[in-house]
Amino acid sequence: MRDRLAELTKRGLLDIVDPARAAAHISVLVVAERTVRPLGNPPLTDAETETMVRDGVRAFLTGYGA
């Protein structure tokens, strides 16, 4: 992922100084809701998972979009 983010930065699509750190950020953002969900709750549905990932990517692009 680091290399892909670096490539997108070179193409002017992202504004990233540290691709390795940005890769960690997007990884956390797309699974954050799942990791903080209290134990005992039912698993996320496919629709909830899709929304979680989409929202995580949106947050990432807000921070790193060119």
How many residues are recorded in the chain? 66
Query: DSSP labels for the chain?
Result: -HHHHHHHHHTTSB--S-HHHHHHHHHHHHHHHHHHSPTTSPPPPHHHHHHHHHHHHHHHHHHHB-
pLDDT of the residue at 41: 81
Number of domains the chain is built from: 1
Report pLDDT for 37.
77
pLDDT per residue rounded down to tens, the chain (66 residues) = 999 999 999 999 999 999 999 999 999 999 887 777 777 788 888 998 899 999 999 999 999 998
The dihedrals phi and psi of 41, each to the nearest 5 degrees, come to -75, 155
Residue 32 belongs to what domain range?
A: 2-64
